[in-house]
Amino acid sequence: MIEIDGVGVRFGGVHALRDVAVTVPQGQTCGVIGPNGAGKTTLFDVVTGLRRPSEGTVRLAGRDLAGTGAVGRARLGVRRTFQRPQVFGRLTVIDNVLAASEWRGGGGGLAADLVGWRGRRRLERERRERAAAVLERCGIAALRDAYAADLPIGQRRMVELARAIADDPAVLLLDEPTSGLDEEQAALFAEVVAGVEATVLLVEHDVGFVMGACERIVVLDLGRVIADGDPASVRDDPAVRAAYLG
């Protein structure tokens, strides 16, 4: 569960977020929509620890994250994808995914050293099996040895998703995941997201996609939450129509 409570962010005179309160229960997929500049990316930056809020708190499973930076939050299981997919271009697809679980040990590092050679080989095998299974789920198994930089944007997005879900995230934040995906890829993306156990926050401009993929929608406008509910009630909300859906 992720609890965003009374969060405000100011950039000089601009209130990017004002008193935003959203609690997403464990396992829920919650869409975040709103016009350009509404504060969606800023909200993701606050949850992932890239931006310190001017006010308010973010709690993960009851734990206040104020003193935990972006790396610490990643270690607690917070994962994110970006509007422009961020992959390691000079690594292969499988190595992009393996990189996500390297810190747990297996390929190297302290944990692997501590369990000794035999345990280390077992961890490494399990890690590779998990990574291969994730590539399969994301429809990119055939690309495992391709360099990520050589892939078109849609496939890079799937690599980024595979890396984000490779080691069972607690919270998954997806920023405009369908831009650059064709219809088939978008459908697969939604299917993969539906299959994860994580709590999911999904920013998306494709309203059809977000309404289909999310059980709940939060609408931001000028940094405030103007609606929060199931897709049908949000779609019919006059304030949402005026601000965004038109």
d(CA 57, CA 64): 7
Q: What's the CA angle centered on 114, arms 96 and 162, to 5 degrees? A: 15
Binds ligand ATP (CB under 6 A): choice among 36, 117, 195, 238? 36
d(CA 165, CA 155): 15
Nearer to ligand ATP, 167 or 221 (CB): 221
Task: Considering only the stretches 31-39, 92-100, 138-146, 229-237, report the one whose residues sit in contact with ligand ATP under the rule CB under 6 A.
Answer: 31-39
* Residue 84 contacts ligand ATP per CB under 6 A: no
CB of 219 to ligand ATP, least distance (A): 11
Residue 84 DSSP one-character state: S
Q: How many positions of this chain bind ligand ATP (CB under 6 A)?
A: 11
CB of 115 to ligand ATP, least distance (A): 43
| Lookup result for tokens 């929509």 | 33
147: which 2 tokens?
A: 């360099």
Burial 23-61 (b: 16+ CB within 10 A, else e): ebeeebbbbbbbeeebbbbbbbbbbbbebebeebebebe
* Residue 201 contacts ligand ATP per CB under 6 A: no
Binds ligand ATP (CB under 6 A): choice among 34, 56, 105, 106? 34
Q: Which of residues 37-56 bind ligand ATP (CB under 6 A)?
A: 37-42
Task: Considering only the stretches 30-38, 84-92, 98-106, 178-186, report the one whose residues sit in contact with ligand ATP under the rule CB under 6 A.
Answer: 30-38
* Residue 79 contacts ligand ATP per CB under 6 A: no
Q: What is the DSSP string of 55-76?
A: EEEEEETTEE-TT--HHHHHHT
Non-local CB neighbours of 60 within 8 Å, separated by 6+ positions? 1, 2, 3, 73, 76, 77, 78, 170, 171
* Residue 13 contacts ligand ATP per CB under 6 A: no
* Residue 8 contacts ligand ATP per CB under 6 A: no
Binds ligand ATP (CB under 6 A): choice among 6, 11, 52, 66? 11
Binding characters for ligand ATP, 96-135, by CB under 6 A (x = yes): ----------------------------------------
The backbone region for 204, taken as left when phi is positive above 0, alpha when psi lies in -120 to 50, beta otherwise, is beta
Contact between 20 and 39 under an 8 Å Cβ cutoff? The reply is yes
CB of 119 to ligand ATP, least distance (A): 44
Residue type, 114: L
CB of 34 to ligand ATP, least distance (A): 6
Nearer to ligand ATP, 204 or 237 (CB): 204
**Residues at the interface with ligand ATP (CB under 6 A):** 11, 14, 16, 34, 36-42
